[in-house]
């Protein structure tokens, strides 16, 4: 069974090699983390190579959540960090691993459910993945060689978690505090995409995919409560009713 220690979930998005999943599990357990989620691993699951590489951390692989897509892996989360070493055109707050994990510790102490995303080995997270995150954690690396192994990135982030989680000050972010979950944000995004598609908003066609990613990025950047989500659903429903009169 996972430990009772409050902590973030580390989400491995489309990992490509079992050995790297095992190295990530080992790095997590080195620093007391045991909430692993695996999204669409390339070589299937379970992975014998992951188990062999994990050594004494095989329990994390046995208990890891397996998901077909990122939306499912984040459905119960209220705040999401995305790790990347590459500059992105999406507008989001950017933190170092140190400050990101310090903030994550405060959010978890306040009762939030936090996830940290790690991308596949070849190119890292895609913009569509990052659009689902609230904040980017950018790893300072040599610009001439920015590629980090998945296990290394997990190790670096887990170390900063351990270093920052020992002296946690209660995080006062917003007195409302009833944050929307990933499942609720997904439903809101789908509602707006469906209605805007019907209205011909996503035009021209060759730019539609990018427009949808930017819209989804907007929802995560706004940091919505459940009341906000209900209001935004109501606004769209009323606009549709008004249009049909």
Task: Name the helix (H) or strand (E) containing 118.
Answer: strand 114-118
pLDDT in tens, 69-89: 999 999 999 999 999 877 667
pLDDT at position 175 over 80: no
**Same fold? 9-164, 182-244:** no
Residue with tokens 């999406």, as numbered in its chain: 90
The dihedral over CA atoms of 37, 38, 40, 44, expressed in degrees to the nearest 10, equals -140
* Band of residue 168 on the pLDDT scale cut at 50, 70, 90: very low
Nearest to 236 by CA among 200, 201, 192, 194: 192
Answer CATH for 182-244 from 1.10.8, 3.20.170, 1.10.287, 3.10.590:
1.10.8
pLDDT-wise least confident of 17-21, 231-235, 241-245: 241-245
Domain boundaries, the chain: 9-164, 182-244
Q: What is the mean pLDDT of the chain?
A: 91
Answer CATH for 9-164 from 3.40.50.360, 3.90.420.10, 3.40.1280.10, 3.40.50.300:
3.40.1280.10
pLDDT at position 166 over 70: no
Q: Classify burial at 38, counting beta carbons within 10 Å of its beta carbon; exposed 0-12, middle 13-18, buried 19 or more.
A: buried
Output the pTM of the full model.
0.87
pLDDT in tens, 102-160: 999 999 999 999 999 999 988 889 999 999 999 999 988 888 887 789 999 999 999 99
pLDDT in tens, 28-61: 999 999 999 999 999 999 999 999 999 899 999 9
């Amino acid at each position: 069974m996972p430990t009772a220690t409050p902590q973030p979930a580390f989400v491995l998005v489309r990992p490509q090699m079992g050995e790297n999943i095992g190295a990530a599990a080992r790095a997590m357990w080195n620093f007391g983390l045991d909430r692993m989620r695996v999204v669409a691993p390339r070589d299937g699951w379970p992975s014998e190579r992951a188990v062999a590489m994990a050594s004494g951390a095989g329990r994390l692989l046995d208990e890891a959540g397996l998901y077909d897509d990122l939306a499912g892996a984040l459905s119960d989360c209220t705040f999401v960090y995305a790790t990347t070493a590459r500059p992105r055109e999406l507008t989001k707050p950017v933190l170092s691993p140190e400050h990101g994990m310090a903030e994550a510790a405060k959010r978890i102490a306040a009762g939030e459910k936090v996830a940290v995303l790690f991308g596949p080995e070849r190119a890292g997270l895609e913009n569509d993945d990052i659009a689902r995150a609230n904040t980017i954690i950018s790893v300072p690396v040599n610009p001439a060689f920015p590629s980090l192994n998945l296990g290394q990135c997990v190790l670096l982030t887990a170390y900063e978690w351990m270093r920052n989680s020992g002296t946690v000050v209660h995080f006062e972010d917003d007195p409302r505090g009833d944050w929307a979950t990933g499942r609720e944000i997904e439903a809101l995004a789908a509602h707006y995409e469906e209605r805007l598609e019907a209205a011909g908003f996503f035009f021209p066609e060759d730019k539609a995919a990018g427009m949808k990613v930017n819209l989804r990025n907007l929802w995560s950047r706004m940091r919505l409560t459940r009341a906000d989500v209900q209001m935004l659903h109501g606004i769209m429903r009323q606009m549709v009713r008004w249009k049909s009169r």
